[in-house]
Chains A and B, each alone.
Chain A
Amino acid sequence: MSNAYLTYAGKRLGQAVIVILLAYIFTFVVVSILPGDPITSVLRNPQNGFSEQEIAEIIAAQGLDQPVLVQLWHSLSAFLTGDLGMSMRSNRPVATLIAEVLSSTLILASSGLAVALFLAFTVAYGTQVVPKKYGQGLLRAFPSLFLSTPNFVIGLFLIHLFGFQLRLFRVIEPDGFWATFFAAITIGIPFSAQIAEVLIANLDHEAEQDYAAVARSRGIAPRRLFATHLLKPAALPVVTVIALTVGELLGNSLITETVFGRTGIGSLVQRSVSTQDLPVLQAIVSLGAVIFVLVNLIADLLYPLLDPRVKIVVGRKRRHAAADDAALGLEAGAKP
């Protein structure tokens, strides 16, 4: 591992930490200026039946009587030490509440990703090796077809067909294998369309490059051309696509959980929103930010290792002749 790479990795890591902190602060500010005062609407809600003394205790424990900046400071420093605070409603640690449901959501999201990758690569492979007369066009239509279908529609359709009609899984048992499988497909299909779209465009681009023609002139068969030549350069940008859409993946997982009636982060969010349980919401949003930033960090750190063309340049200013010609007005009518 070169020095330049370590410098680069250090820089990216630092940036990631800063982004997470800013995201935390931003969420905190947004949550605290949200309309509605949690003290009146949650604690004094007669349904919850807290006594005045209990309310006072909760207020003191949460520090809700402190100025906002002090609250932020406490909350942020606790967050940095891994302490997510206490839920306002159930008086249990937020970390425990999240831990109970996180694995279910992560399993769903990662199965969704696996389904998406499998579908995308299969379809993309098909577009390169299936001849025009045997339905290549159909494969090519796949991404645009599914890109525009909302995933809950797919979910409801799958539940209806496989749950109610074919009775492949029991709708009242949403964590079973088949239920999870179809939930993963629900997430995977629209996501795979996004990946496949990029992948197919890249493969077509690579297939047009001179090197592909030269490789074919060496007698490489189409399938080997795909596997040994086109796949890697075409798939590399997909790493970035996945990293950038991980937020969407998580969001879709929450929606799909709800559609399939699974317990997970989705149901926790639902409950916390309806009861204005701010510490839980703050923790979940921050967690989302952490996951997003981490995934992108990993993608950025991985990319230079995967792509031999990427050379990390540290602190060198590139000279662009045309750019400073333009700056001097020398060739204003000329395009750089």
Chain B
Amino acid sequence: MASQIALNTAPPRTDFKGPALVQARPLLKVRNLSISYGRQQVVHDVGFDIGHGESLALIGESGSGKSTIAKAVLRLLPNGATASGQVVFDEQDILSLSERRFRPLRGRDIGFVPQDPGNALNPVRTIGSQALEAAALTDERHPAARKALILETFAKVGLDNPQRVYESYPHQLSGGMLQRVLIALAILPRPSLLVADEPTSALDVTIQKRILELLSRLQEELDISLLLITHDLAIAGERAGSLVVLKGGVVQEAGRTSAVFSSPTSPYARKLHADVPALNPDRYAKLRDPGFARLADDRQAKISVEGVTKRFSVDGKVLTAVDDLSFSVAAGTTHALVGESGSGKTTTIRLLLALEEPESGSIRVSHDTVTSPGVSSLRSVWRHLQLVYQNPFTSLDPSWKVEQLIREPLDRFRIGSAAERSAAVQEALANVGLSADLLQRKPSALSGGQRQRVAIARALVLKPDVIVLDEPTSALDVSVQADIVEVLLSLQAKLGLTYVFVSHDLALVRQLAHTVSVMQRGRIVEHGTVHEIFGKPKHDYTLSLLSSIPSVRGEKVSAPAVRRVAQKELAL
């Protein structure tokens, strides 16, 4: 019985006990839930339980149906979507309840924290006026008492100046603050269930960590049950008591977090586990390790940046985007630039590509000076140095075919005959592991991973020495990310490429970088080899960045450095 409910995929696990998933009187009981948009079924026969005060994470890649399930629980499915099965909340079947009977449960019993805080509050109304809607769900009658309750809750979620927040419009607050506001509004009526749909994926890493901690803390403090939706297995592992792993709307695996992590049984959960950077710091050791030998060789510096400063003037104020920046990258190695958004990473890249001119300092790539050269030498810089953008969904012109996209740099620099160009395109395509029958397709007919491979092939076709990778995988699912990283590292091993890798994903940096510079407010606060930075971090900011790498509940923490960081944080 239990196995049939919890695991709908073959082969059924007859040994499954699943205390977290099938309970006597759970708060939320989902059974045989199937959901279709029009004719297309996207959720197949899903079932799970959440007990009082417990947390369950629903994980899977994008499009696996996580949000659809959340919307079914919240009864926010759009018109045209049909759901069958049971979603029983506190003994009432949400799916068959009339809207009039369900409305009193909204907010009061079931709270919702959405994915993108930037879009989850009405942009033309003050935070306060929207908070009052949530306060109206409480027993508090007096307007003044309601406002006091709101301010108190704002303080509880760590908003420093509740009164100011109350009077602000959404666009006047940062994403992290908005997410705190949304959490405050959700917990204000004291619901017994909180549905959080990827509550941190739109936020900076260090803020992600704090928001997740806040959620966990409130969940325990207020004894709320949590349905946490995430694409990040590492986050799920750290935050949830039990897991449901979804793929294509079908449950692949379900159970206590510790059990799923220590012995995943389904092939998909195993692959997911292997693809998460935070859980597999040494996954690419074989491909990467030869690079460390090159670090020792000083003469091999491919890139050297010395004392570079760049200022912008904004509204009459001078903003130092990059301050006295120095680093060098040995040929054939990967240098990672890490830091929060706004720390100067993008400006650094733009300086490297000579898209900005520094006020002072010098930049050299392969002994060519990048700083203030004439146009002709700029072209030679760009032949040696190529850029791969963050988002493969917007960086490729949708009206071009793959073949044109990859060949275009050769055309622009007038390199080779037509036959040579076409051979170079074929070679680049083979290098990124795409088959030649994709050449005539347009980007819209490619998956995200394929598009990013095309973008890499485009960069490779000029045979550059250096490729700047600006968060090349942040728009991709973990499994696709793992494939792309594999491609990049094999290319480095094969062609001796030098990478400058910009990322805010510390776990990924730990997997693939040789050296790391940690940037904060335009300065490099710490730099060293990847082992030094992750093993013996010195700067507090580095520590706080590192602690954003999730560790796993109920499992031995895989990276010793992180545990030390956690202890050090406690001591601070």
B354 CB to nearest chain A CB (Å)? 8
Contact-residue bracket for chain B: 35 or more
- State how many residues of chain A have any CB contact under 8 Å with chain B: 34
Which residues 198-239 in A have Cβ within 8 Å of B in the complex? 209-211, 213-221, 228-229, 232-233, 236
CA distance in complex: A220, B76 (Å): 12
Which segment, of A117-125, A165-173, A241-249, A321-329, faces chain B?
A321-329
Residue-by-residue, is B343-364 near A (CB-CB < 8 Å gives 1, otherwise 0)?
Answer: 0001000100101000000000
Residue from the list B137, B171, B394 in contact with A309, Cβ < 8 A: B171
Query: Which residues of chain A are within 8 angstroms of B412 by Cβ–Cβ distance?
Result: 329, 332
Find chain B residues with CB under 8 A from A228 CB. Answer: 125, 133
Question: Which residues of A sit under 8 angstroms from B87, Cβ to Cβ?
Answer: none
A209 to B312, CA, bound (A): 35
User: Nearest residue in A to B397 (C-beta to C-beta)?
Assistant: A335
Determine which of A220, A229, A316, A329 lies in contact with B125 in the assembled complex, contact meaning CB atoms within 8 Å. Answer: A229
The answer to whether A307 has its CB under 8 Å from any CB of chain B is yes
Inter-subunit contact B79/A132 (CB<8 Å): yes
CB-contact partner of A218 in B106, B400, B404, under 8 A: B106
Contact of A215 among B122, B398, B400 (CB under 8 A): B122
Interface members, chain B 100-119 (any A CB < 8 Å): 103-108, 110-112, 114-116, 119
Residues of A within 8 A of B94 (CB): none
User: Could you tell me if B458 and A309 are in contact, using CB atoms closer than 8 angstroms?
Assistant: no
Is the CB of A80 closer than 8 A to any CB of chain B? no
Q: Known: A321-B346, A330-B355. Contact between A217 and B110, CB under 8 A?
A: yes
CB of B314, distance to nearest CB on chain A (Å) = 7
Contacting residues of chain B (131-152) with chain A, CB-CB under 8 angstroms: 133-134, 137
Cα–Cα, bound, A210→B116 (Å): 8
- Taking the nearest CB of chain A, how far is it from the CB of B357, in angstroms? 12
Cα distance, A228 to B124, chains bound together (Å): 10
User: Are B397 and A233 in contact (CB-based, < 8 A)?
Assistant: no
CB neighbours (8 Å) of A307 from chain B are 124
User: How far is A96 from B89 in the complex, measured between Cα atoms in Å?
Assistant: 75
Mask of A301-336 contacts with B, CB within 8 angstroms, 1/0: 000000111000000100101001100111111110
B114 and A213 contacting across the interface, CB-CB below 8 Å: yes
Would A217 and B119 count as touching, CB distance under 8 A?
no
Inter-chain residue pair count (beta carbon < 8 A): 104
Q: A333–B182 contact, CB under 8 A?
A: no
Q: Are A213 and B76 in contact (CB under 8 A)?
A: yes
Interface residues of A in 234-277 (CB under 8 A from B): 236
Contact of A335 among B103, B116, B398 (CB under 8 A): B398
Give B172's nearest chain A residue, CB to CB: A308
Q: Across the interface, do B314 and A316 meet the contact criterion of CB distance under 8 Å?
A: yes
Interface check B437, CB cutoff 8 A: no
In the complex, what residues of A have CB within 8 A of residue B398's CB?
A: 335
A209 interface neighbour in B76, B103, B119, Cβ under 8 Å:
B119
> B387 in the interface, Cβ–Cβ < 8 Å?
yes
Residues of A within 8 A of B408 (CB): 332-333
B389 contacts A334, C-beta separation under 8 Å: yes
- Report which of B111, B169, B355 forms a contact with A217, defined as CB distance below 8 A: B111
B185 at the interface (CB under 8 A from A): yes
Closest-CB distance, B571 to chain A (whole angstroms) = 39
Specify the chain A residue showing the minimal Cβ separation from B396.
Answer: A334
Q: Is the CB of B123 within 8 A of A211?
A: yes
A220 touches B133 (CB 8 A): yes
| B103 touches which of A221, A233, A321 (Cβ 8 Å) | A221
Q: CA of A39 to CA of B95 in the docked complex: distance in angstroms?
A: 83
CB distance from A2 to the nearest CB of B (A): 13
B121 at the interface (CB under 8 A from A): yes
Say if the beta carbon of B315 comes within 8 Å of chain A: yes
Least CB distance, B256 to chain A, in whole angstroms: 29
The answer to whether A335 and B394 touch across the interface, beta carbons within 8 angstroms, is yes
Nearest CB in chain B: distance from A70 CB, A: 48
Asked whether A215 lies within 8 Å of B133 as measured between CB atoms, the reply is yes
Interface residues of B in 385-442 (CB under 8 A from A): 387, 389, 394-398, 400, 404-405, 408-409, 412
B 204-246 binary contact with A (CB < 8 Å = 1; else 0): 0000000000000000000000000000000000000000000
Q: Smallest CB–CB gap between B528 and chain A, Å? A: 30
Known: A213-B76, A309-B171. A335 touches B395 (CB 8 A): yes
Complex-state Cα separation, A203 to B346, whole angstroms: 37
- Other than the given A219-B108, A333-B400, 9 more pairs (CB < 8 A) read A209-B119, A211-B120, A213-B76, A217-B107, A308-B169, A316-B314, A321-B346, A328-B355, A333-B404
Closest CB pairs A-B (n = 5):
A219-B106, A217-B112, A218-B107, A333-B408, A210-B119
The interface of chain A, by Cβ under 8 A from chain B, is: 132, 209-211, 213-221, 228-229, 232-233, 236, 307-309, 316, 319, 321, 324-325, 328-335
Give me the interface of B with A, judged by CB distance under 8 Å.
71, 74, 76, 79, 103-108, 110-112, 114-116, 119-125, 130, 133-134, 137, 169, 171, 182, 185, 312, 314-315, 346, 350, 353, 355, 378, 382, 387, 389, 394-398, 400, 404-405, 408-409, 412, 458
- 30 A-B pairs in the complex with CB atoms less than 8 angstroms apart: A132-B79, A210-B120, A211-B120, A213-B114, A214-B120, A215-B130, A216-B106, A217-B107, A217-B110, A218-B107, A218-B185, A219-B105, A219-B107, A228-B125, A228-B133, A308-B171, A309-B171, A321-B350, A321-B355, A324-B355, A328-B378, A329-B412, A330-B355, A330-B387, A331-B389, A331-B395, A333-B397, A334-B389, A334-B397, A335-B395
